Structure 1
């Protein structure tokens, strides 16, 4: 039985990945150990045989697979020899080479889930080091599929880009929603009403986008062809060059991901 240890498993992302994996039987509860500063965190009550500890050393000693789910700036405090183990990192900005050097590891998988993992709606791109086995990759795929959609990719440059595109994406959508809410308020609409309206808009719009057989570009063109109020709004946004600030934001996020945790100036 594969033994999984999750360093930082008490944090929101660690739990967001673990809870659906436990519920789906991807990993047995008695095969899971999570570490946290407190040594005991809520959320695992349905799985009482999940072990909790403050000791990363003890966790690693019992694990075949060690998942790193901590803030990149906290990584220096973790000194472990993980040689012979599969290391799964869900941290941004920490490369395969850095992980290999820090932990004496060769079988490594890097992944970039997003905040929607806790609702099983994450898109999680992942890549494997050359020494990761087929069994390693199959385990990672099952683990990430439990929290949404998983996609294996080929390069760290792609993962850096996806760190912004989908890893940061929920926050970018929230920024767009906030801009719409603020505009509604300037037009005299009560903020609470504007927020409820925009939340429902994003819920409905995202569902339609997900379920539609059309590409996003085709959906836009459909509304342009209809030549109504939506077309007027889309044309005004295009005239204001809406794509450039979006591209700049994605580029900045990707550059920060590639820079590594030691460079704070790009944040």
Structure 2
């Protein structure tokens, strides 16, 4: 076996499983270098050569890098000795210091992917606590690029804030899409047409932003002084951006508070 071994605790759950499948699909590592743990020790990925174990410590012992992909409230019940190893946490609200204290890991990476891992479109910010070799950081970056795009941040607090921004995945667009559809129906538009129109705005038309600067687009539409300009002006006067700011701060506060409350 050549190259690093990667173990994913919770590797058959929705998040860990999506990452495991992407690692194989993108050939980041040979299947034999990927180790997953679950209670049954069985999973279809085993047919591709992935190693499955029932004991989390056995996974740690066989892995160079360990991903913890469980719910934050489950972390307290994990008893791991990862001394000398790199642990990557996908758990919101649990600090790198707490993870290092409980696992004895030499390096802790906190990362926050979102639900778009399922379609390979997640943005994953990550933060590394402790000294890590360039090869280790490269592996972390390439790991999350398997499920979308990724970027290292230099402050752990940024991860908590980004939990409420990129970590929400499709939740905020879903809220906007629902609001647009509901308001259209309230104005008498048939439900099917209202939902199609709202979906076009949020899902389809927003694809233009992939190749256009958002602020430039807003400025151009406002300058045109048409229907769109009137809608944008109304939202601006209604302190739309301030409301978004308060929403993100509320989410970040929960992430920073963690499991203490």
Aligning the two structures, in what range does the TM-score lie when normalised by the shorter sequence?
over 0.9
**TM-score, length basis structure 2:** 0.94
Q: Deviations over 1:62-85 (max 9, x none)?
A: 111110000001111111111011
Aligned to 1:87: 87
- What is the alpha-carbon distance in structure 2 between the residues aligned to residue 51 and residue 219 of structure 1? 49
**TM-score, length basis structure 1:** 0.92
Aligned to 1:17: 19
Aligned to 1:109: 109
- What is the alpha-carbon distance in structure 1 between the residues aligned to residue 198 and residue 53 of structure 2? 42
Residues 33 and 50, structure 2, Cα contact 8 Å, conserved in 1:
yes
- What is the alpha-carbon distance in structure 2 between the residues aligned to residue 240 and residue 201 of structure 1? 20
Greater Cα offset, 79-88 or 198-207: 198-207
Aligned to 2:118: 118
Cα gap change, 1:37/1:186 in structure 2, threshold over 3 Å: closer, same or farther? farther
Q: Deviations over 1:19-52 (max 9, x none)?
A: 222111111111111112343345x37x621122
- What is the alpha-carbon distance in structure 2 between the residues aligned to residue 175 and residue 41 of structure 1? 35
Aligned to 1:242: 240
Aligned to 2:57: 57
- What is the alpha-carbon distance in structure 2 between the residues aligned to residue 199 and residue 52 of structure 1? 40
- TM-aligned CA deviation for residue 255 of structure 1: 0.9
Q: Secondary structure at the match of 2:124?
A: strand
Residues 93 and 256, structure 2, Cα contact 8 Å, conserved in 1:
yes
Equivalent residue in structure 1 for 2:219, among 193, 200, 221: 221
Aligned to 1:202: 202
Cα gap change, 1:38/1:252 in structure 2, threshold over 3 Å: closer, same or farther? farther
Residues 116 and 169, structure 2, Cα contact 8 Å, conserved in 1:
no
Q: Secondary structure at the match of 1:167?
A: helix
Greater Cα offset, 135-144 or 32-41: 32-41
Q: Secondary structure at the match of 2:170?
A: helix
Residues 57 and 81, structure 2, Cα contact 8 Å, conserved in 1:
no
Aligned to 1:5: 7
- What is the alpha-carbon distance in structure 2 between the residues aligned to residue 203 and residue 11 of structure 1? 27
- What is the alpha-carbon distance in structure 2 between the residues aligned to residue 39 and residue 218 of structure 1? 53
- TM-aligned CA deviation for residue 229 of structure 1: 0.4
Residues 109 and 132, structure 1, Cα contact 8 Å, conserved in 2:
no
Residues 127 and 153, structure 1, Cα contact 8 Å, conserved in 2:
yes
- TM-aligned CA deviation for residue 223 of structure 1: 0.5
- TM-aligned CA deviation for residue 169 of structure 1: 4.1
- What is the alpha-carbon distance in structure 2 between the residues aligned to residue 192 and residue 5 of structure 1? 46
Residues 30 and 49, structure 1, Cα contact 8 Å, conserved in 2:
yes
- TM-aligned CA deviation for residue 118 of structure 1: 1.4
